[in-house]
Amino acid sequence: MQELKLAELEQKGFLDIDIDPTLDLFEEIDRLKKAKNAVILAHYYQEPDIQDVADFIGDSLGLAQQAARTEADIIVFAGVHFMAETAKILNPNKKVLLPDLKAGCSLSDSCPPELFSAFKEKHPDHLVISYINCSAGIKALSDIICTSSNAQLIVESLPKDQQIIFAPDKNLGGYINRKSGRNMVLWNGACMVHEIFSLEKITKLKQRHPEAKLIAHPECEEAVLRIADFIGSTTQLLKFTETDDATMFIVATETGILHSMQQNSRNKTFIAAPPDNACACNNCPHMKLNTLEKLYLCMKYEQPEILMEEELRLAAKKPIERMLALSKQLGLGG
Ligand code: 13P
Ligand code: SF4
């Protein structure tokens, strides 16, 4: 079984492999972690059980920084494909596993490398800053990578007259344009989770709870950001809820973050901002493809593994390393 390759696993229905129902998956995962010298990195949007077994929970910047410094032999990335890919780009000699290889990202998918390459050719004097939520192919076409934690600082660290293309998120790019007074050319991409919030329902909720603060991720649309009391990456939102005096928050980002918010501030109330759909669901369907069972199976069989061509890896590594070095210089950890 140990030697099963991904194709075989898929063919056999990897997800259908029976797990002994008497197994304590928390214990088993912990045992495998020690036995294999593995580290579990989890994004805040993962389900609570996964966050609870993770060695490190973070936003995209924190996770990339952890991936760059880990001494583990195996990195288990409980997140989406572009995150695990980033870990592999930084650690070619380590095994990088993703519990479900189909955990993609609508934002990353909105920017295919062939189309972006043609777009870039139309703006030959522009520097390309890409949000980390993109494929290795887009990273390879970029000069600097950024995350929602450092995007504004990275943009502002460049000369005012430097022309810039920002990809793939038009909402984050627009937000940075408004904050920095720049006029970056924006790729027309967006995240399906952050575009779904209903301004009307949020406004009504605010009226019902005037004491609550609205906090929003910069991937949200401009109309939501305009009425937000605080805007930041997932880690920045979490820290804000810990330090701000308010005791009630309306949270406009993926619902997974509410687990850490509630754990870190037990006496505060967190309300998921209402989306504009009938099922009132603002979970990321990609992030939520990972489950504790899939995490256990992937650690047991060391599959599915992220693999990449060396030429692409080297090209994608440069702008990520530039971001990590700039983040350090700008005092954002490292
Ligand atoms: P951050 O992790 O930078 O907050 O981004 C959120 C996100 O959408 C990740 O997919
Ligand atoms: Fe992509 Fe949005 Fe899901 Fe993040 S929340 S992984 S940006 S689809």
pLDDT in tens, 21-69: 899 999 999 999 999 999 999 999 999 999 999 999 999 989 999 999 9
pTM as predicted: 0.92
| Mean pLDDT (whole number) for 9-16 | 52
100 in a structural domain: yes
Does a structural domain hold residue 281? no
Ligand nearest the Cα atom of residue 42: 1
Mean pLDDT over residues 132-153, rounded?
A: 96
Cβ(95)–Cβ(75) under 8 Å? yes
Please report the pLDDT score of residue 17 as a whole number.
67
Assess contact for 19 and 296: CB atoms under 8 A. yes
Q: What is the pLDDT of residue 1?
A: 40
Shared-domain flag, residues 24 and 100: yes
Between CA 229 and CA 188 the distance in angstroms is: 26
Residues 149 and 14 in one domain: no
Residue 245's domain is classified under what CATH number? 3.40.50.10800
Residue 81 to residue 55: CA distance in whole angstroms: 19
Are residues 11 and 82 both part of a single domain? yes
Token couple for 165: 């293309």
Q: Which atom of ligand 1 is nearest to the CA of 232?
A: 4
Say if residue 133 is in the same domain as residue 83.
Answer: no
pLDDT at residue 165 is higher than 50: yes
Output the CA 21–ligand 2 centroid distance in Å: 31
Residue 203 and residue 143 share a domain: no
Question: Does 123 share its domain with 185?
Answer: yes
Best probe residue, ligand 2, of 60, 258, 286 (max atoms within 8 Å of C-beta): 286
CB of residue 234 inside a 6 A radius of ligand 1? yes
Q: What values do phi and psi take at 271, rounded to 5?
A: -115, 125
Q: Are residues 184 and 226 both part of a single domain?
A: no
Is 78 found in the same domain as 38?
A: yes
Name the residue range of residue 221's domain: 197-272
Same domain assignment for residues 150 and 217: no
pLDDT at 3: 44
Query: Best of 193, 219, 251 to mutate for ligand 2, by most ligand atoms within 8 A of CB?
Result: 193
CA 233 to ligand 2 centroid distance, Å: 12
pLDDT of residue 2: 44
Same domain, 264 and 323: no
**Segment 294-311 mean pLDDT:** 97
For residue 249, tell me if it sits in a domain: yes
Ligand 1 center–CA 76 separation, angstroms: 18
- Indicate whether 148 and 163 sit together in one domain: yes
The answer to the question of residue 279 being in a domain is no
Q: How many domains does the chain have?
A: 3
Look at residue 194 and tell me whether its pLDDT is greater than 50.
Answer: yes
Q: Residue 35: inside a domain, yes or no?
A: yes
Q: What is the C-alpha separation between 167 and 117, in angstroms, rounded?
A: 12
pLDDT at residue 277, rounded to an integer: 73
Say how far apart CA 214 and CA 202 lie, in whole Å: 9
Q: Which residue has the tokens 């929602």?
A: 148
